[in-house]
Structure 1
Amino acid sequence: MNDISIVFNVESPQEKNTKIVMSIDEKPKERLQYKFIVGSDGTWETLKDFSEGESVEWLPKKEGKYTIMVQAKEKDSSKSFDYFAKADYTIGEEEKLIKHIYLDKSKLKIGDKLYLSVETSVVPVVYRYWIKEKENWNLIKDYSAENTLALSVRETGEQEILVECKTLESKNKFDDFEKVKFEVEGIKKLEITNFECLISDMIVNSELIFQVEADYEDSRMILYKFIKFNPDGTSECVQDYSTKRMVSFSEKVYGEYKLLCLTKDMYSPKEYDDRAIINYNVKPYMDIVIQSFSSDLSSPQVCESIVTLKAVVSGGKELLYRFKIDGNNSEDSGYIRNNTYAWKTKKSGEYNIELWVKDVSYESSFEAASSLNFKIDEYCNDPVVINEVSLDRNNRLLKNEVVKVKVIASGGTELRYSFIEKKDGKPINKIEYGTCNWVNFSAEEKGNYEVEVRVKDKYSTREYDSHSIVLVEVFDYMPAVIEHILSNAKEHYLVGDTIEYNIITQNTKKTILRYVLSINGQKVEETDFVKEKKYKFTPKCSGNYLIEIYAKNQDSDKEFDTKKDIRIKVQDALPITNTKIQCDRTKVIVNEGVTFTADCSGGKDVLYEFYLMNKGDWELMQNYSKKNYYSFMPFSKGTYRILVLTRSSLKKCSYEDYDMLEFLVE
């Protein structure tokens, strides 16, 4: 019915005693009659009764809110009116609905929460919220009774929020509005400063540990994502966005890999804030290195001497050695698994001896090679032989610790001994030939050392008749070694059991340990490095538990010196066993009741299900429940069978155990 509209010569609000002309703007028909009415505080006044006049003057005397109503009808209409229109008009200063908008803070950083509340002069009202983004106003929340708003800020710079509100009966788009500004500051740029593998030897099936370091504001939460690119071009996500900046895994296939790290602020709107990639080569085994190739007897020797050739080699998985002797009487051992070869000299002359080494999986000739020259003389005498070189302690030392190196040799007439100390292959100290067959060795700097033992006859003109090399490692501190992990081994671990491990380490007083407990792949507990060598916990839920034990010397500057894992499975209860059915009667009679009771071992909140076979057909008599007995009355003679199935209430399987009983009804 509202098909006419009202216009005013001056817009609301106006002062009292202002002449206001209201008139009809749009009309559905010509030659209608119009009635103009004005109302305030429930009182209505007719300014002009029905007439063809389309405008009227109004001179308000009081301030307040007025409602202007216009009714229209056709001249001969029997109705009170056929059309009407209504408008609001304010005389005097219009009272604002919004008194104040409160912000919890005017300056924020990306990702912070902004909390806003609105105070109005009247209630109830409804509120609508907009935010200005790139010169456009976007709706945050449509009209509702909520006078509070909480939102996360994701753009830097000056931001602006528009609050609109109106009363419940208002037909306007809004009765009042107000804007409020706030500042969003940027954060320090996140930058990856280091991305490295903590494992120096990258071997198939060995654990690889990668760690990323980044520069960022201390108060920010940073997430890391790792994506691995395989040699065949495929990729896989090793770790989705997480706060863990260290990732570990192993490779089953050797080859060239890439690991991409994406990092971002938790509240950053970007896919990532910085990234870094590391190339790494996984080898099938450690590089083969010939550490030494020597003979137990020095050159020259005489015919019929047995010269033992010895190779000390590191790396590889399954090594093969080949000794090639080229001279007046050539020999070739072919590839053998022994790192020593006994060469029985038969002819005099100059010989060149080559050592070839390779892994059994390597298809070409060799992976590492070394050689030495040897001379054989015609004349024969009792050769000088080193029988044993012994150490009074382990060959791994701390700086300034002393190890006694002692040599036992035979042959010759009167033996003399010399000792040469070397570091990284370079001589650093030499003890000339004398009668003492031992020496104390120590070092002031860490590194890899050799002690070469030389023995010769007092009357020998050679540099030495026989020699041997002892390898010694010297450390600033002794790397931690986990020797044993002791526990009360159990076949089954249950929720609520106390599980305890005692860790036996070398150099116990200097060794500190860190324990990490994970359940079903989720880390739930982690300690700092502590001196405690005992770890105890009580599982509160079932699942696959992983205890990672990291050990290091308290003086170590590494993340850890060694690591061992313990994996156990914790169950809610022991499996159900020994299910038995018992009958309360020794003889079952027709038309007399009988009760069968089931019992079992293990399980938790055990449920029982009963089946009965009569005349060759099985029938379910009682669904799974905690009721462990079944009673019935047989009405016919014959052979019956009763079957009970048992399972724990938490188990999803059909059953864990069962028992069957056959009985005769007479």
Structure 2
Amino acid sequence: MNELAMSCDVKSPQEKKTKIIININNNLKEKLLYKYMVGYNGIWNTIKDFTEKEEIEWAPMQDGKYVLMVQAKKPDSSKSFDYVSRMDYVIGKVEEKLISNIYIDKDKLVLGDKLTITVDTIKFPLMFRYWIKIDNQWEMIKDYSVDNMLSWVVKTEGKGEILVECKNIDSKNDFDDFKNVGFQVIPLKEVKITDFKCLTSELLENSELVFQVNSEHDKDRTILYKFFKVNSNREVECVQNYSTQKIVSYVEAKSGDYKLLCMAKDMYSINKFDDRAVLNFSVKKYSQIYIKNFTTDINYPQLCGTKVTLMADTIGGRELLYRYIIQGSYSREDSGYTICNSYVWESKMAGNYTITLMVKDKSFSGDYEAIEHLDYIIDEKSREPVKIQSVILDKNKGILKNQNINVKVNASGGVELRYSFIIKRNGTEIKTMKYNKNSFMRFIPEENGNYELEVRVRDKYSDREYDCHSIVKIDVFDYMPAVIDYILYPVREYHLVGERVVINCITQDTKNVIMKYILSINNRKVEETEFVTGKSYAFVPKYSGIYKVEILARNIKSSKKFDCKREVAIEINEALPVTNTRITCDNANFFCNEPVIFTVHSEGGKDVVYEFYIMEKGDWNLVQGYSKKNYYTFIPFHKDEYKVLVLCKSQYNKDFYEDYNIFLFKAQ
């Protein structure tokens, strides 16, 4: 906006009631109308509304700081004004220079920085008053005091100015001296969200969803993030209010399509937000269902009447249902949906059969979500079928690489049995032991991974690849993953503020396990340890609430964040509950128009407060609200039966009351 040249015939400062001529130098070569205004202590007064005069007389009546402003506009303009000019003017006598200099710690600041002002004077003691110029208006930030230093957090970008007024302690003037200093508040670097992603691989109902946002900004600035969840009905829920946490997690209880809105802003930004981003995602009821393996415990052909166990190995879903359909040339058997992942089928007729496995989740309304078929033959050869009763490993869990694993197979049937072993690692076959008489096998896994041991058994005279088989899954580790067996802590009905709480953890392979403890109070994290060798954690609660301790355990060789996670939640109370409340009276007999004092005694609680009610003529009336006053004086005016009810509780308890008692008496 173009500025006009503005001046006065006498220089500032001047005495009050001095006639001052305000001049306008119009170098724009345009015909303009002028509006003259004066600002004093934030209040603007119009001296002269729009006029063609390029000078006007002003006679101020009070001492102080003034802002002179002239607005100019073209005669045919529709705007409020087209040009503007301002200048400061001080009215008041300055008898002596008291301020020698004003120092600021820096003249260029970033929004949110703290500006420190120091006033150097020629003598002491003096009084100081501080003003700041914001949007061309002076605003007092500290009234007169003896402090010659001031700290101020800058909250507005652009040019700023500090004015310091100074006067003697016994001075009756508005000020005896003044001085100002300017500074510049530079704009913040733009905050920009550069990445917004979900860290959870599968987004499922009732499981934790974790999201992370990253932004670009000045490295020494504090950036706040706020997250909103929006469902398909456009219902909005705040997941996390503004905080420095860039990772947010929550448990979604219902499947569907969602949006997560992230708003980012500099802590000192005047904007509601500086940048925002939206992430669309879908939550499924459960992971997709797959049939990994569908097999029988004995291979075909088998005789009529042989019991064949059908076995399903599946992944995914939440509450799986299984359905087995056996279809032959002359018969059909349908198990209907069941929760069992195995089914015993006893054949009644010889022939060729197709066995179908259907799998679905309990919540699925269709016929099936996964299906698999296998063929089976029932014949009339009379021979006892070959069956595997058990496959025994000498180690059932926690198998480490380079350890011996001994396997023993118990099988029956046939004439003379032969055994074969096939070992796979992560789905790839690494070793095969051909058929032989030995039902015992030993192998040493040299690498970690998911192993499968397939045991095949057949009769010496069988012409089939195998008569029956069984698959055993074995997990082999580089180290023993940490396992927390038990968490021990004092189990009491009431845990109190100030009482030390000790949590002990019982782990497997204790010497190689390290622990991390995360303490939260009312869902707000207050402490997080590094991974330590100690298997116990103690804290002394300082105030009431729900104290939650997350316990993370991992092997010292583990590269994971943790191998095992457990959680303990303990409610801490301010005090024991108020109990054994009783009311005593100073009188043995009760007479009309004579005062009676009732006193309350109770046990437990903290800063206990009391509330009194009186029943008179069948009506209860509140006579003394909750207070620490544990007695009440009452005068019965009628010969009647009365009841005194007292409610009591700890002062900070949010319940209406914790304990009560009733005292009955008759006035004579």
TM bucket normalised to smaller: 0.7 to 0.9
- Counterpart of 1:512 in 2: which secondary structure? strand
AA matched with 1:319? L
* Shift in alpha-carbon separation, 1:617–1:286, aligned structure 2, 3 A: closer
Question: Which of 370, 373, 387 matches 1:371?
Answer: 373
Query: Given the alignment of the two structures, is residue 226 of structure 1 paired with residue 227 of structure 2, yes or no?
Result: yes
Unaligned segments of structure 2, at least 5 residues? 1-7, 14-18, 22-90
CA drift of 1:485 comes to 2.1
Query: Given the alignment of the two structures, is residue 500 of structure 1 paired with residue 502 of structure 2, yes or no?
Result: yes
- 1:472 aligns with 474
In the alignment, the residues of structure 1 paired with residue 614 and residue 111 of structure 2 have an alpha-carbon distance, to the nearest angstrom, of: 70
- 1:313 aligns with 314
AA matched with 1:509? K
Question: Which of 657, 660, 665 matches 1:658?
Answer: 660
- 1:260 aligns with 261
In the alignment, the residues of structure 1 paired with residue 131 and residue 378 of structure 2 have an alpha-carbon distance, to the nearest angstrom, of: 104
Which is worse superposed, 366-375 or 194-203? Answer: 194-203
In the alignment, the residues of structure 2 paired with residue 164 and residue 662 of structure 1 have an alpha-carbon distance, to the nearest angstrom, of: 72
- 1:100 aligns with 101
In the alignment, the residues of structure 2 paired with residue 628 and residue 89 of structure 1 have an alpha-carbon distance, to the nearest angstrom, of: 65
In the alignment, the residues of structure 2 paired with residue 112 and residue 181 of structure 1 have an alpha-carbon distance, to the nearest angstrom, of: 12
- 1:287 aligns with 288
Which is worse superposed, 508-517 or 272-281? Answer: 272-281
Which is worse superposed, 314-323 or 605-614? Answer: 605-614
* Shift in alpha-carbon separation, 1:318–1:162, aligned structure 2, 3 A: closer
Question: Which of 415, 418, 430 matches 1:416?
Answer: 418
- 2:113 aligns with 112
In the alignment, the residues of structure 2 paired with residue 585 and residue 484 of structure 1 have an alpha-carbon distance, to the nearest angstrom, of: 59
In the alignment, the residues of structure 1 paired with residue 443 and residue 249 of structure 2 have an alpha-carbon distance, to the nearest angstrom, of: 40
CA drift of 1:397 comes to 3.5
CA drift of 1:389 comes to 1.7
- Counterpart of 1:509 in 2: which secondary structure? helix
Which is worse superposed, 466-475 or 192-201? Answer: 192-201
AA matched with 1:306? K
Q: Is the 8 A contact 1:303 1:380 kept in 2?
A: no
In the alignment, the residues of structure 2 paired with residue 592 and residue 142 of structure 1 have an alpha-carbon distance, to the nearest angstrom, of: 62
* Shift in alpha-carbon separation, 1:472–1:278, aligned structure 2, 3 A: farther
RMSD: 4.4
Cα deviation 1:245-276 (Å, max 9, x = unaligned):
23221112101222233333323455445544
- Counterpart of 1:253 in 2: which secondary structure? coil
* Shift in alpha-carbon separation, 1:597–1:238, aligned structure 2, 3 A: closer
In the alignment, the residues of structure 2 paired with residue 465 and residue 370 of structure 1 have an alpha-carbon distance, to the nearest angstrom, of: 21
CA drift of 1:295 comes to 0.7
- 1:549 aligns with 551
Q: Is the 8 A contact 1:101 1:180 kept in 2?
A: no
In the alignment, the residues of structure 2 paired with residue 267 and residue 629 of structure 1 have an alpha-carbon distance, to the nearest angstrom, of: 53
- 1:130 aligns with 133
AA matched with 1:498? R
Q: Is the 8 A contact 2:227 2:239 kept in 1?
A: yes
- 2:562 aligns with 560
AA matched with 2:280? N
* Shift in alpha-carbon separation, 1:174–1:279, aligned structure 2, 3 A: farther
- 1:539 aligns with 541
Q: Is the 8 A contact 2:108 2:183 kept in 1?
A: no
Question: Which of 558, 580, 591 matches 1:578?
Answer: 580
In the alignment, the residues of structure 2 paired with residue 653 and residue 340 of structure 1 have an alpha-carbon distance, to the nearest angstrom, of: 53
Q: How many residues align?
A: 579
In the alignment, the residues of structure 1 paired with residue 183 and residue 149 of structure 2 have an alpha-carbon distance, to the nearest angstrom, of: 16
In the alignment, the residues of structure 2 paired with residue 260 and residue 539 of structure 1 have an alpha-carbon distance, to the nearest angstrom, of: 36
Query: What TM-score do you get using the length of structure 2 for normalisation?
Result: 0.73
- 1:355 aligns with 357
Q: Is the 8 A contact 1:551 1:562 kept in 2?
A: yes
* Shift in alpha-carbon separation, 1:619–1:428, aligned structure 2, 3 A: closer
Query: Given the alignment of the two structures, is residue 202 of structure 1 paired with residue 212 of structure 2, yes or no?
Result: no
Query: What TM-score do you get using the length of structure 1 for normalisation?
Result: 0.73
Q: Is the 8 A contact 2:354 2:373 kept in 1?
A: yes
CA drift of 1:311 comes to 0.5
Q: Is the 8 A contact 2:552 2:562 kept in 1?
A: yes
Cα deviation 1:161-200 (Å, max 9, x = unaligned):
465868899999998766545685866x766565444443
* Shift in alpha-carbon separation, 1:186–1:125, aligned structure 2, 3 A: closer
Higher CA-based Rg: 1
Q: How does 1:510-521 map to 2 (within 5 A)?
A: 510-521=512-523
Which is worse superposed, 366-375 or 540-549? Answer: 540-549
Unaligned segments of structure 1, at least 5 residues? 1-6, 14-23, 27-86
Q: Is the 8 A contact 1:303 1:379 kept in 2?
A: no
Q: Is the 8 A contact 2:299 2:469 kept in 1?
A: yes
AA matched with 2:427? G
* Shift in alpha-carbon separation, 1:161–1:331, aligned structure 2, 3 A: same
In the alignment, the residues of structure 2 paired with residue 164 and residue 584 of structure 1 have an alpha-carbon distance, to the nearest angstrom, of: 68
In the alignment, the residues of structure 1 paired with residue 174 and residue 618 of structure 2 have an alpha-carbon distance, to the nearest angstrom, of: 82
Cα deviation 1:377-429 (Å, max 9, x = unaligned):
33120111011122322355444344333321111122211111123433222
